[in-house]
Amino acid sequence: MTTIATIEEILAGPVTQAEGESFVRGLIATAPAPIPLATLNTPGTPESAIVYALGAAEAQRSLDRQLFAQSGFRGSCSRAWLDVVAPETYGVTPRAKDFATTPLTIENTSGALYGPFIAGTLRFVNDVNNAIFTNTVTASIPIGPSTVGIDAIAIEAGIASTSSVGDISRLETPLEGVSVTNLQPAIGTDAESAESINDRIDARLGAFGVPGAGFATGATDTALESLAKNGFDNGGGVARDDGSRIVVSRSRVELDGLTGVTTLYLADDDGPLDGSDLLLVEALVQAYGEWVTLDIAVANTTAVSVTVDGTITIRGAAATDAQILAQIDVELIGASRACPIHGFPPSNGAPLRYVENAVENAGDAGKLTAFRLVDIVLSSPTGATSLAENEVLVLARGTITIVRV
């Protein structure tokens, strides 16, 4: 029988069936053995390195595909992608987080002169939330008895440094005879949420007569709401004289068919707007109304305060009661902000389940104070809260008892 040495000889044929079968058996018999599993599982071997690299590359490709698919939707894309798409595609600039600032009152009862302290070297402490503030410019504390004002700024940006009146109460490094307090609150804000950015994009689209594309962002479809939420330059709300922005997070348009007057109701995260802020927004919106010959009234909202009381039963929580209650506060604030002016249709109110969800969500997996909720019994509110066309819901924690099992 002819011996076949190569595949080319088979192709050059003719060969018998027996010769072909013999050739294939020879290939199988002389094929290299597969890499032993033990070798692949041994760190440091070339084989395991190759397999690991291939697996890592495929995992990254899968992640890239997922992120690419999500980037096609504003509601599911990553925050970094939304920060690019919002200004580049829709002309809406996301608001960045900022630092809390406040004037401090320093009293010196000693006979010593302290300072000068260059900016950033005099540090003050909020013992309630452990936020640190520092002087913004070079300052001295005169010989006592004396009182001096020093402007301070938080060293950490965001809402975590927000301080109520009187919370900033000591110096990090004590000075004899020197005390400090803040007679005004210090308000820090976090970076604008994805929900807020999408809401403003919806309002921006509405300015051109295109209904908002976000199904879960309370889409708006009027230019009036776009002006109130984005400002004239789409920078994140109407600008104040100092350059800061008025954050309008909730709006509602009501058209009176008899008088022809369009009323724009407005609210921020906490409820009604400050009077001075309302006047600035009103001036811009009414200027637009004159331009397009619309009779527009801009009206503030009225807060409907609802206190949440009750008992929650939990298990398996490493968090303290104080941490759990603080997280419930956060969730109640978020629920208030998510409730539109005039509430949810068709009842035009906030259903009881909406309030219960806010308490339950404090235990969502992944949160710092996560807990497993066994039961929740609310004594207040006892039912849905009805809201008039100019009212907004403001939820606040009353007495919530925590029972551990």
Contacts of 144 (CB under 8 A, 6+ apart): 107, 108, 109, 110, 111, 112, 177
Confirm whether 193 is domain-assigned.
no
Main-chain phi, psi angles of 311, to 5 degrees: -130, 135
Using one digit for the tens of pLDDT, what is the confidence trace for 96-105? 888 999 999 9
Residue 19 burial (C-beta neighbours within 10 Å; 0-12, 13-18, 19+)? middle
Is 339 in the same domain as 383?
yes
- Write down which residue in 71, 90, 109 finishes a domain: 90
Single-letter amino acid code for the residue at 364: D
- Among 129-138, 289-298, 303-312, 335-344, name the one with the lowest average pLDDT: 289-298
- CA separation (Å) from 184 to 5, 123, 148, 194, 348? 93, 18, 15, 30, 37
What CA–CA distance (Å, rounded) separates 278 from 75? 30
Main-chain phi, psi angles of 373, to 5 degrees: -80, 125
Using one digit for the tens of pLDDT, what is the confidence trace for 201-239? 877 776 555 444 333 333 344 678 888 888 888 888 888
Is 234 in the same domain as 270?
yes
Q: 131: domain range?
A: 101-182
- Among 14-23, 290-299, 359-368, 384-393, name the one with the lowest average pLDDT: 359-368
CA dihedral 314, 317, 321, 322 (to 10 degrees): -140
Is 17 in the same domain as 49?
no
CA neighbor of 24 nearest in space, from 46, 4, 8, 48: 4
Confirm whether 312 is domain-assigned.
yes
- Write down which residue in 53, 69, 90 finishes a domain: 90
Confirm whether 364 is domain-assigned.
yes
Confirm whether 190 is domain-assigned.
no
Domain count for the chain, please give it: 5
Main-chain phi, psi angles of 54, to 5 degrees: -65, -40
Q: Please give the model's pTM, rounded to 2 decimal places.
A: 0.57
DSSP per position, 89-112: HH--PPPPP---EEEEEEEE-SS-
Q: What pLDDT score was predicted for residue 198?
A: 85
Other CB atoms within a 10 A radius of the CB of residue 356 amount to 17
Using one digit for the tens of pLDDT, what is the confidence trace for 233-278? 888 888 888 888 888 888 888 877 787 788 899 998 888 999 999 9
**Once rounded to an integer, what is the mean pLDDT over residues 104-131?**
92
Q: What pLDDT score was predicted for residue 257?
A: 74
Q: How many CA atoms lie within 13 A of 234 on its CB side?
A: 20
Q: What is the chain's Cα-based Rg?
A: 32
- Which tokens go with 30? 């002389």
- CA separation (Å) from 361 to 137, 205, 326, 349, 370? 43, 32, 12, 20, 9
